């Protein structure tokens, strides 16, 4: 589910309620928190989970349960090695790129992307961008070793 789909799921739930005062999950300050445009995706995931649980089971969580759900999602989310927005089913974007664009094009892409992350790291995501740059450099090395028959066993 994309971020926009998550926001739409939340909006649809809210729009189906008579008012915030009668909303069954408003007691956990849902209305105060879900509408922020810059809400982290993990929080949107947690609120979508709250909505699904409510719609399927009538379960109304306590406020700390939502925070715990968000924490679990954050803990299990790897934005460097396996960002969810680059996965589709069992295929990651980089693998699809190799299949459709070829190894040499993806190797160049990896170097350019590493450069981009190093360039912006002080102005955006700091250490996470450095880790992403390292990931792309490691992917380049992996592909280079494979294409030159130097793959290590």
The answer to whether residue 83 is domain-embedded is: no
Q: Which residue has the higher pLDDT, 14 or 28?
A: 14
Number of domains in the chain: 2
pLDDT score recorded for residue 128:
85
pLDDT at 145 over 70: yes
Please report the DSSP string for 93-146 in residue order: HHHHHHHHH-HHHHHHHHHHHHHHHHHHTTTTTTHHHHHHHHHHHHHHHHHHHH
Summarize pLDDT for 67-111 with one digit per residue, the tens. 566 566 555 556 666 666 555 566 788 889 999 999 999 999 999
| Mean pLDDT computed over every residue of the chain | 76
pLDDT score recorded for residue 127:
87
**CB of 112 closer than 8 Å to CB of 103:** no
* 136: containing domain: 88-147
pLDDT score recorded for residue 2:
78
Q: Looking at the structure, do residues 72 and 100 belong to the same domain, yes or no?
A: no
pLDDT score recorded for residue 7:
79
pTM (2 d.p.): 0.47
> What are 61's two structure tokens?
């969580």
User: pLDDT band for position 153 (50/70/90)?
Assistant: very low
Q: Looking at the structure, do residues 63 and 17 belong to the same domain, yes or no?
A: yes
């Amino acid at each position: 589910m994309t971020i926009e789909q998550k926001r739409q799921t939340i909006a649809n739930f809210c729009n189906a309620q008579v008012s915030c005062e009668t909303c069954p999950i408003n007691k956990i300050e849902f209305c105060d928190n879900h509408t922020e445009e810059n809400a982290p995706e993990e929080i949107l995931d947690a609120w979508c989970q709250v909505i699904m649980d409510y719609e399927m089971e009538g379960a109304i969580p306590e406020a700390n349960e939502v925070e715990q759900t968000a924490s679990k999602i954050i803990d299990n989310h790897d934005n460097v090695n396996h960002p969810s927005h680059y996965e589709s089913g069992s295929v990651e974007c980089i693998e699809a790129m190799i299949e459709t664009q070829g190894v040499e094009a993806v190797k160049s892409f990896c170097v350019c992307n590493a450069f981009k992350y190093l360039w912006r790291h002080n102005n955006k995501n700091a250490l996470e961008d450095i880790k992403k740059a390292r990931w792309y450099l490691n992917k380049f090395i992996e592909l280079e070793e494979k294409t030159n028959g130097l793959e290590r066993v």
